[in-house]
Amino acid sequence: MCGITGVMCSKESNVGELLIKMLKALQHRGTESTGVAIYSKEANSEDEYIFRIFVKDIVGAISKISTAIASAGGDIRNISIQLVNGYGLDKYLVKVKSNSLKNIVQNINSTGIAKVISVGRNMDIIKDTCSVAEFEEKYNISGMKGIFGLGHVRFSTESRVDLLHAHPFQSFDYPDISVVHNGQITNYWKLRGMLERQGINFMTENDSELIVHYIVRKLNAGLSLYEALSESVKELDGPFSYIVATSTEIGMVRDKLGLRPLLIYEDEDVLAAASEEVALRIVGRHGVIRNLKPGEVVCWKQKN
């Protein structure tokens, strides 16, 4: 019974504040973790990427991570340290060729003290195992501006509860993509085996991670986001609704039987999606709210 949200504004806005308000309205749907993916309007300059890294708070951690990045050809431009309760959720801005991104991720993950949470040119993912109120107090999400973003509160039905299993999920094969999901993928193990045989490495045992890898394979094969989501309705089994974002677009889908809720709100200034109407009423009161139909796909593109 997780709660999912997505919002896209016509201009740079307080997207973090909107997501926090929407997630507070959905807190009853899950209290085990909270997470957001926030997208700035302008991407960083070519070959500059935001790395969000989960780090143990130990002496020499920054030095080890910096060495891991440099040894894979990365040039660190800025470091922002975020220490919370004995660990860090640090933000590194790194200049690196896109074909070296996975090498940097592997190097950081193999330090034994850190895990990469997300990589993107205009995306930043923050997540933690806490309530929305605690999440806001720790990370001041309301102070983060952007053009669009996703949010999630979790009630786990399978896989363990920790930061890596929290949403949003991402793929290092396609920077700037993120997914939030409510429901279950009942053919998870079958599809995971197929993707692993194609060379995909999974970081968790959460079925939601499958969705992001599935969509990335479709996008890398040349499909549009709408086409990829339409394929997922046919190939993913079980009760689900999910929202996916790329660097310029948000898409959402509801399973073909309509077993998990998803509603959308649309007006001239803001587009939003959520598990319940109560979260959409926070966004605006003059637009149209409706349920996604079973099996329906909707995509919104960022305005120039």
Q: In this predicted model, what pLDDT tens digit does every residue of 42-70 receive, in sequence order?
A: 777 778 999 999 998 888 899 999 999 99
Q: Does the pLDDT of residue 8 top 80, yes or no?
A: yes
Residue 108, amino acid: I
- Contact predicate 274/252, CB 8 Å: no
Taking CA atoms, 218 is separated from 13, 155, 200, in Å, by 31, 28, 13
CATH number attached to the domain at 46-121: 3.30.70.260
**Residue predicted with more confidence, 173 or 84:** 173
Give the rounded percent of residues in the chain with a pLDDT score beyond 70.
98
Pairing status of strand 263-266 against strand 288-291: antiparallel
Cα 240 to Cα 4: distance, rounded to the nearest angstrom: 11
Residue in 44, 49, 39, 46 with CA at minimum distance from that of residue 12: 39
pLDDT for 46: 76
Per-residue model confidence (pLDDT) at position 58: 87
> What's the one-letter identity of residue 156?
S
pLDDT band at 288 (very low <50, low <70, confident <90, very high): very high
Nearest to 149 by CA among 42, 16, 279: 16
Q: What is the pLDDT of residue 159?
A: 62
Catalytic residue, candidates 2, 9, 130, 299 = 2
- Looking at per-residue confidence, does 201 or 243 come out higher? 243
- What is the value of pTM for the model shown? 0.95
Same fold, 3-43+126-301 and 46-121: no
| pLDDT value for 156 | 73
Specify the pLDDT at position 284.
Answer: 83
Can you give the pLDDT at residue 265? Answer: 97
Q: Are 141 and 82 in contact (CB under 8 A)?
A: no
pLDDT at residue 304 in the model: 65
Give the residue, 41 or 234, on which the prediction is more confident.
234
Average pLDDT for the chain: 93
**Cβ contacts of residue 92 below 8 Å, gap of 6+?**
50, 51, 53, 65, 69, 76, 78, 79, 80
pLDDT band of 285, cuts 50, 70, 90: confident
Give 286's pLDDT tier (boundaries 50, 70, 90): confident
Q: What class has domain 3-43+126-301? A: alpha beta
Residue spans of the domains in the chain: they are 3-43+126-301, 46-121
Average the pLDDT over 279-304 and give the result.
92
Active site residue 130: no
Strands, E assignment, the chain: 3-13, 33-39, 48-56, 75-80, 83-84, 87-95, 114-120, 123-128, 146-154, 178-183, 240-245, 249-254, 263-266, 270-274, 288-291, 297-301
What's residue 158's pLDDT? Answer: 66
**Of 219, 224, 279, residue with least CA distance to 3:** 279
**Tens digits of per-residue pLDDT, 124-169?**
999 999 999 999 999 999 999 999 999 999 977 666 778 888 999 9
Q: Are the C-beta atoms of 30 and 1 separated by less than 8 Å?
A: yes
Q: Is the pLDDT confidence value at 88 over 90?
A: no
